[in-house]
Chains A and B, each alone.
Chain A
Amino acid sequence: MTESTTVQILLWAVLPYVTIAVFAVGMIWRYRYDKFGWTTRSSQLYERNLIRIASPLFHIGILAVVIGHVIGLVIPEQWTGWAPEAAYHAMAVVLGVIAGVCTLTGIVLLIYRRRTVGPVFSATTKNDKFMYVFLVAAICLGLVTTFYGSGIFGPAYNYRDTVAVWFRSIFYLNPQIQDMAESPASYQVHAIAGMLLFIIWPFTRLVHAFSAPLGYVFRPYVVYRDRGPHDPGSRPERRGWERVGR
């Protein structure tokens, strides 16, 4: 094993934990202090035609991308050893490209809409514009990486031997720095972009990903909440306003 340089340590051991820490603490902080800002700030009211196509395209695409990442990074290669490498690879590339293109088309349309439809543009904050840079960078770099590693334009690269191992190693608290440091530059850049995206995540409207209304499908449509154990009135008791006659 070669000795890791300071930069390698910073990038592939420190940055991931910083990312996880900022993301986790940031989400908790946001949830506690900005519950009413926990929103997509939907612009559907301002424009309907483009968003009807672009939004599902992007969101379905990005979900597929997420699943692809989970399969590729989380599941060790050995577990899928039963499948022929070429078939697995072809499948990953084809589905990855479809998902990637959907995502990219979706986001391009959404950004086009944001810029050209006056009311939507007016409702776009600096924070949104900042966030779009990171989101689009991560998506584009991801696509580049997919093409690069696919073997279509050159030698294929099996990231499951390196990048995925590094990814899992972070969660074992034993980061395999060299696995990542030796992988191609495109994977490295994509990984950095991804980490940066997660760092800004809690501070942008991306938080809405964690409030996707999945439960709606499975629950009755009327929810009653009882007042709990205390007496009538949901307000906590305050000094000077304590109940009398108990």
Chain B
Amino acid sequence: MSTTADPDVAGDFLVRAARFFTPGDVSPDLRTVTRSGGRDGDVFYRDRWSHDKVVRSTHGVNCTGSCSWKVYVKDGIITWETQQTDYPSIGPDSPEYEPRGCPRGAAFSWYTYSPTRVRYPYIRGVLLEAYRAAKAEHPDPVAAWAAVVGDEQTRRTYQRARGKGGLVRASWDEVSEIVAAAHVHTIKEYGPDRVFGFSPIPAMSMASHAAGSRFISLMGGAMLSFYDWYCDLPVASPQVFGDQTDVPESADWWNASYLIMWGANVPQTRTPDAHFMAEARYRGQKVVTVSPDYADNTKFADEWLAPHPGTDGALGMAMGHVVLKEFFVDRQVPRFVDYVKKYSDLPFLVSLKEKDGAWVPDKFVTSHDLGDDAEGAQFKTVMVDSATGRPHVPNGSLGFRFTDSGMGKWNLDLDGVDPALSLYGAANTDTLEVLLPRFDSDQEHNEGGGIHRRGVPAGRVATRDGERLVTTVYDLMLAQYGVGRDGLPGEWPTGYDDPAPYTPAWQEGITGVPADLVERIGREFAQNAEDSGGRSMIVLGAGTNHWFHSDTIYRTFLALITLTGCQGVNGGGWAHYVGQEKCRPVTGWANLAFGLDWHRPPRQMIGTAFWYVQTDQWRYDAMGADVLASPLGDGRFAGRSMIDTVAQSARSGWMPSFPSLNRNPLTIADEAAAAGVAAPEYIKQQLLSGDLKFAIEDPDAPENWPRVLTIWRANLLGSSSKGNEYFLKHLLGTDHAVRAEETPEDLRPEDVDWREDAPVGKLDLLVSLDFRMTSTGLFGDILLPAATWYEKHDLSSTDMHPFVHAFTPAIDPPWETRSDYDIFQALAQKVSTLAAGHLDTRTDVMSIPLLHDTPDEMALPGGVVRDWKKGEVDLVPGVTAPKFITVERDYTALGAKMSALGPLLDTVGTVTKGVAVQTAPEVEVIARTNGVIPDGPAAGRPALVTAQQACEAILTLSGTTNGRVAVAGFRNLEERTGQRLADLAEDHEGKRITFPDTQARPVPVITSPEWSGSEHGGRRYTAFTINVERLKPWHTLTGRQHLFLDHDWMTEIGEQLPTFRPPLNMHRIFGDQGTGQGKEVTVRYLTPHSKWSIHSEYQDNLFMLSLSRGGPEIWMSPVDADAIGVKDNEWIEAYNRNGVVVARAIVSHRMPAGTVYMYHAKDRTVDVPKAELSGLRGGIHNSLTRLMIKPTHVVGGYAQLSFFMNYLGPTGNQRDEVTVIRRRSQDVEY
């Protein structure tokens, strides 16, 4: 550098001139001055950054961040937190994971000493008085509780007080006694399946989740699912992949060269990961966003597609049309063709059935159809060998998975056979006209749509029922997407500009997105996949997933990535991010959480159906199941309401249903024993005689109500309670703003009893554990003060990164707070004590559904539905009805079992997703690490007394964190698949990640059969790479990714193939919902995720309130605001049949006309005035929503369409809702 080149001549002059007056020595180059002393201020800064300790912890808030933080403690007080920077490197040529963290997480320490902190145990005053009065009369706590709830007036008095304050402090001893007494009484009086627990997302704090879940499960209570209830479960994932959800970690976005963010606002909802997307753009990645509003991520996008809300499926269909036309028909891309032949069901044969003078697709052709009577033949699907033109039964389908003869053959190895993708032009084939349903037209009377006529080539196959016409899934796909080939009959679009299904021009009329843009994006997506070897990725999430028909929307996306060979490829495929779903050490967590070490199976309930039934939303659901039926359906749903389909699912054993039967299961077991009959047989007889009924057939009968519910790590009533006002009315029995009328008589259910007076206040006791006050606490009867994430030991993992890391207490739980783990240990001890003389040891008989990843999924060959209740088939427990399984429970040993690892892990081992591991060596390790229980019912068993011990057990039992378990699991899978797999983990066989390891630094996990991807050799995790690279089948019927689904009910609603279904027409189904007074506007009501909160967390945090407007607010477009004369920041009221919300309007050009946003989880703790319409305080975002059940989500017992908790179940969708909005008086009252 040359000093003469310094441009700052004037500056130099001043400094030079002043240097004789400047204290200290000025350097010759005039850049520095050196002074003596003046460092007294240093002390302040040294003190500021000197701490008692700096502790590693994280936040369990279901944000997917799972960011490791440094928590600082000074003079015994938590001062603040900063991001950890010690994530292990992910190798060269990629950006790193750190820094991770966002402003919300950085604001967390505020809660520790905030006014919203729950410091002591609280109980509703009227309840406490009633209990104390009862106890004076009945010294036995269980008898006292029985007296409280036995007196209807007392019971209603404290129920009516819910949500109205009056919480008083009580001692830990007294509240524990009441909680324990309520559990003992309920189990004794009504049965263990009237006891429920709700706590979501184990990955966000595994030991805390497991503690309560173990408490509930060991008692025989039911844990409620959350993934489907949150509507985060994309049902398309079990349908297509046979997997709950598996996705790439965020660092794999870096590997994508074409990225579509479709209903996922990455910078806003994946804040700590968004940098990978921003950085990948510098690597040449093209970024496309699809969002109806000008979302934050649109700023990063090269192209922005803004479809009308809920029409994404039309966009997906049109892109699929372009891909099939240009990359499969006009020109065949070898990579794509090879991929779909090997990894999708496209080459498989589907039989055709005559209908109305044409043909419709029926069922997959199976080996059984061809005359094979061997085991599993009904589940071995068939393709055509292109060399011979004859049917061929390849390896890998479900028929090979659980049979002895299938050992070593459950794989995707085609053994040199080249399957025919299409029968087009093959010898001895015909062309046939097929009828396919379409749902974009004929929507005037119901959701059922119309029909379009297309054609397919068809071959003849000799079956045991005579000759049948068959075609391939690929040929059906071309027919469905409207991609014609010469010589095929039917009506076909003439080109992209023909507005017939499913062309780009057709979608323009539905989505509003220009046809040429969709055509180009579809082409680019596929072209990039061809050029890059499959590195086209779709990041998708709640924006497209929370719709009633989200499974159809997602199937159009999954078709795009499967057709272009992107799934199972680093940098490609689907990347579905919703909650913090990936509990990487899943096996250890599941065994602890459900008490599988002591009793199997546990009771697990589908959340959505539970709430739909128990909050009596079914009584207001006038949308019958047949409204959804395809015009080509067989009338299976005629006259049936949604709850009828749920009831059928329950009695058929497809989905779980708790409470199960209309008598206490403990009593039923006693009755069976007295009758000298095995319990399953006894229940069968009783069901057939009608003496015993399923509880869901009369859900409003008092004996069928849920009685005790415990909620922890969750804010049900301020966040996820879709149909919030119905919860308040029927479940809790307090003030509510329900405006809906009950279903008129002619639309009421067939199989479910209707009681004239709907029950009000079903729950006897609502217990909530939290460290801050939320709506759930405000409505609960008992509120227990929990430790925060900076006050306990626990484990965290996420989908977004490959590490497990620890929570560590920075301080002891302050005031009278305790960790969830310690609270449930104490409650279990208390229940044990009170159970003596009331319960002791009882036999419990459980109704358990047909489970996925077990031979149960072969219960319904061909997905053919038969109902024993209608006499269509015999009642066979475990085939056409639930399994009835007995378990002996010593209730006095509950506390002992809670705090010790049970013996089933020594003898039976663990099974995760069908992969078994013998875990005796692991139990030995845990015993030596944790120590053993010296005496009592669990004497000699490894200790689980503390959360650290639980974390150690979770890590030791899981393949992702224990190399021996991973290798043993892979060896088990090698036997079944005949493929080499163990090498993926062998280099880590001796590695065991311990809890102290995770406290020292985030630790990358080991490749394990618990998941479908591989981290082997330091590669980035993405889903299904083991399937693609090691030929391990997907857990589906064909063992491949499914584009075609042949279950009877899928056929009935016309969703065999990817299709477009518009959002539900609420106006037609439920009528006008305005008041008819003043200026009103009816708009689509969406509740996306907020920038300033994570669910309801942080929206009450002072820092986040300062950064945002704060309080309830609804974003609306200037057009809609003008229509009702509202200006920005004015108070408005939004209402529909479900309830009322008061909010401030945020009028913004960001919003499209006709759609409003109220950010998800606006709790009623901040700035919530009384509504004019109801006169009540409130309304949260979910006061305007309600549950709608889709019948195809409750099917079961058939291949990938089988139940597993959080794997399959009806979704708690809410995006199809509409609301009316008006300006309200600007004088608000609180």
Contact = CB atoms under 8 A, between A and B. Distances in A.
A191 to B, nearest CB: 36
A219 B36 contact: no
A167 B162 CA distance: 72
Contacts of A222: 31-33
A227 interface: yes
Contact of B15 (A220, A223, A225, A228): A220
Interface stretch (B37-45, B61-69, B671-679): B37-45
Given A218-B14, A219-B18, A220-B26, A225 B37 contact: yes
Interface string A212-235: 000001111111111110000011
A220 B36 contact: no
Contacts of B46: 234-235
A226 to B, nearest CB: 5
A228 B37 contact: yes
Given A218-B14, A234-B42, A235-B46, A226 B35 contact: yes
A225 B39 CA distance: 7
Nearest to B1109: A118
B34 interface: yes
A198 B39 CA distance: 31
Contacts of A223: 24, 32-35
Residue from the set A217, A218, A235 with the largest chain B CB neighbour count within 10 Å: A218
Interface in B1-45: 14-15, 17-18, 21-22, 24, 26-27, 30-40, 42-43
Nearest to A119: B1106
Contact of A228 (B22, B27, B36, B43): B36
A227 B33 CA distance: 14
B17 to A, nearest CB: 8
B359 to A, nearest CB: 66
Nearest to B36: A226
A225 B35 contact: yes
Contacts, number: 56
B18 A218 contact: yes
A228 B39 CA distance: 8
Nearest to B22: A219
Given A218-B22, A234-B42, A235-B46, A224 B35 contact: yes
A226 B30 CA distance: 18
Nearest to B32: A222
A226 B22 contact: no
Contacts of B14: 217-218
B38 A219 contact: no
B35 A220 contact: no
Main secondary structure of the interface of B (DSSP, over half): mixed
Contacts of B42: 234-235
A220 B27 contact: yes
Contacts of B32: 220, 222-224
Interface in B576-632: none
Contacts of A236: 43
Contact of B43 (A217, A224, A225, A234): A234
A220 B39 contact: no
Given A234-B42, A235-B43, A235-B46, A220 B31 contact: yes
B192 to A, nearest CB: 54
B31 A221 contact: yes
Nearest to B43: A235
A219 B18 CA distance: 7
A221 B46 CA distance: 24
A224 B26 CA distance: 10
A220 B46 CA distance: 26
A226 B34 contact: yes
A217 B16 CA distance: 11
A220 B37 contact: no
A94 to B, nearest CB: 31
A236 B24 CA distance: 23
Contacts of A218: 14-15, 17-18, 21-22
A41 B36 CA distance: 30
Residue from the set A217, A219, A222 with the largest chain B CB neighbour count within 10 Å: A219
A225 B30 contact: no
B510 to A, nearest CB: 41
Given A217-B14, A219-B22, A234-B42, A224 B37 contact: no
Given A228-B37, A234-B43, 12 more contacts: A218-B18, A218-B22, A219-B18, A219-B22, A220-B32, A222-B32, A223-B33, A225-B34, A225-B37, A226-B37, A234-B46, A235-B43
Interface of B: 14-15, 17-18, 21-22, 24, 26-27, 30-40, 42-43, 46
Interface of A: 217-228, 234-236
13 contacts: A217-B14, A218-B18, A219-B18, A220-B22, A220-B27, A220-B33, A222-B31, A223-B34, A225-B34, A225-B39, A228-B39, A235-B46, A236-B43
